[in-house]
């Protein structure tokens, strides 16, 4: 990182994040499996199978509602250990014809996680891996992204007397470590801020923009012109607002953002309003976001939990209850996590997707 800054000068927070997470040799996601107890953080599909099962049923139902076509691309962005896709497929395979109608596309950059995904999906044919969504062949698409957008780089802008300046990561020679600084003039990224945030924030306020996330939302929307739907799940906020949400997590605990570079996960909350606007501008219809709690309850999380409980030992029953609770409890993941669906305009006109 020091060499990077010495060569290129101060980095934007977005460039810093991209390097810390994605550097081919030292990047956080390139060098490890970050998930689970032994890793740094855990995610909904790793907590309870009910999460992936409900999403699989949602996908199968959308497929049925939209004519049960063949040659549909089932795409996952940032599939982690492959647990979500495996749980989805197990549940969706109950829909007659679904498995034969799809090909499976995993968008993943980490070689370690690609291996784990291959193992999780060993029972399924027609799985291919891609470095980005652009590489996935065109056609009707069902797409899911859980905790993917939060890992994409964000710019941080600070409101000053001179306008919105770019927060930078600079090298402090005296302490020989990275520190935050500020660009001398206003940043062109300011144009991507929501109008209310750009106009109404106080001096000193921090605002975040993720051109990478907006580009992904645009690409999803364009691809949906061929039909069907996408489901985006992440922690974030419903309305664009100022605030510094950049965080580092290591060993299931928060860590200072500029420590442990490449050794800690870096994420930012997702601005769902901005994602929805980008999708709408590209010709698709966003639905929600609604809370993960409402989405899961509406799709029958408690019925599925009770079905699992009926076959469980007392020890298993305890785990099943607490894990489902963790996903829907407002004090845990229930309301911080949001779910947004995106459909092509023509489809949205008829009916909103299940749960929305």
* CB crowding 42-62: b at 16 or more within 10 Å, else e: ebbbbbbbbbbbbbbbbbbbb
State which of residues 57, 62, 84, 279 lies at the interface with ligand SAH (CB under 6 A): 84
* Residue 41 or 180 having the CB closest to ligand SAH: 41
347 binds ligand SAH (CB under 6 A): no
In the region spanning residues 151 to 180, those forming contacts with ligand SAH, defined by CB under 6 A, are 151
Helix (H) or strand (E) holding 276: helix 272-281
Of 76 and 166, the one with the shorter C-beta distance to ligand SAH is 76
CB nearer to ligand SAH: give 113 or 224: 113
What CA dihedral angle connects 233, 234, 235 and 237, to 10 degrees?
Answer: -70
Min CB(35)–ligand SAH separation in Å: 6
Among 10, 79, 178, 286, which residue sits at the site for ligand SAH (rule: CB under 6 A)? 79
DSSP 29: G
Q: Which stretch binds ligand SAH (CB under 6 A): 76-84, 195-203, 215-223, 312-320?
A: 76-84
Shortest Å, Cβ 320 to ligand SAH: 19
**Per rule CB under 6 A, count of chain residues that contact ligand SAH:** 19
Q: Which is nearer to ligand SAH, 113 or 193 (CB)?
A: 113
DSSP letters for 152-178:
S--EEEEEETTEEEEEEEEEETTTTEE
Strand order across the beta sheet in which 253-255 lies: 253-255, 247-250, 265-267
* Residues contacting residue 250 through CB under 8 Å, at least 6 positions apart: 40, 260, 263, 264, 265
Q: Which residues contact 38 (CB under 8 A, 6 or more apart)?
A: none
Q: Least distance in Å: CB of 254 to ligand SAH?
A: 17
Q: Quick one: which segment of 72-80, 191-199, 248-256, 324-332 binds ligand SAH (CB under 6 A)? A: 72-80
Q: Which of 53, 55, 73, 78 binds ligand SAH (CB under 6 A)?
A: 78
Would you state the structure tokens that stand for residue 352, as one six-digit string?
A: 């909103």
Backbone angles phi, psi at 293, to 5 degrees: -60, -55
Residue 69 beta carbon to ligand SAH: minimum distance, rounded to whole angstroms: 26
d(CA 308, CA 316): 9
Q: One symbol per residue from 8 to 27: x for binding ligand SAH (CB under 6 A), - otherwise; what is it?
A: --------------x-----
Does 53 sit near ligand SAH (CB under 6 A)? no
**Closer residue to ligand SAH in complex, CB, 147/190:** 147
* Minimum distance, C-beta of residue 84 to ligand SAH, in the bound complex (Å): 5
Q: Does 235 bind ligand SAH (CB under 6 A)?
A: no
Question: What is the rounded distance in angstroms from the CA atom of residue 265 to the CA atom of residue 150?
Answer: 10
Positions in 88-147 near ligand SAH (CB under 6 A): 107-110, 113, 146-147
Report in angstroms how near the CB of residue 79 gets to ligand SAH at its nearest: 6
Applying the rule CB under 6 A, the residues between 299 and 318 that interact with ligand SAH are none
State the DSSP code for 134. G
Output the residue with the shortest Cβ distance to ligand SAH. 78
Give 292-337 as a DSSP string.
Answer: HHHHHHHTTHHHHHHHHHHT--HHHHHHHHHHHHHHH-TTTTTTTE
User: Interface with ligand SAH by CB under 6 A: which residues?
Assistant: 22, 29, 35, 43, 45-46, 78-80, 84, 107-110, 113, 146-148, 151
């Amino acid at each position: 990182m020091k060499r990077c800054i010495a060569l290129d000068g101060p980095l934007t927070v977005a460039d810093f994040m991209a390097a810390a997470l994605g550097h081919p040799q030292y990047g956080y996601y390139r060098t490890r499996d970050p998930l689970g107890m032994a890793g740094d953080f855990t995610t909904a599909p790793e907590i309870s199978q009910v999460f992936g099962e409900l999403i699989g049923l949602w996908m199968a139902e959308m497929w049925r509602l939209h004519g049960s076509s063949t040659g549909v691309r089932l795409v996952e962005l940032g599939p982690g250990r492959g647990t979500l896709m495996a749980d989805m497929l197990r549940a969706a395979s109950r829909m007659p014809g679904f498995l034969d109608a799809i090909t499976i596309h995993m968008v993943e950059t980490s070689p370690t996680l690609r291996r784990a995904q291959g193992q999780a999906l060993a029972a399924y044919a027609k799985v291919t891996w891609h470095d980005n969504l652009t590489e996935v062949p065109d056609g009707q698409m069902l797409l899911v992204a859980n905790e993917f957008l939060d890992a994409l780089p964000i710019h941080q802008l600070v409101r000053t007397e001179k306008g919105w300046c770019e927060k930078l990561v600079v090298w402090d020679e005296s302490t020989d470590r990275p520190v935050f600084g500020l660009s001398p003039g206003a940043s062109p990224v300011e144009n991507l801020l929501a109008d209310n945030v750009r106009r109404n924030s106080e001096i000193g306020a921090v605002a975040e923009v993720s051109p990478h996330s907006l580009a992904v939302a645009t690409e999803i929307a364009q691809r949906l012109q061929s039909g069907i739907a996408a489901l985006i799940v992440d922690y974030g906020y419903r309305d664009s607002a100022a605030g510094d949400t950049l965080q580092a997590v290591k060993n299931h605990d928060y860590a200072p953002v500029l420590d442990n570079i490449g050794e800690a996960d870096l994420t930012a909350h997702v601005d769902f309003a901005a994602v929805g606007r980008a999708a709408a501008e590209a010709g698709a219809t966003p639905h929600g976001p609604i809370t993960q709690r409402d989405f899961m309850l509406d799709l029958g999380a408690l019925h599925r939990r009770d079905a699992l409980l009926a076959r469980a030992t007392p020890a298993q029953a305890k785990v099943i209850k607490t894990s489902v609770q963790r996903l829907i409890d407002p004090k845990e993941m229930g309301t911080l996590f949001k779910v947004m669906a995106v459909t092509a305009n023509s489809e949205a006109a008829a009916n909103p997707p299940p749960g929305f």
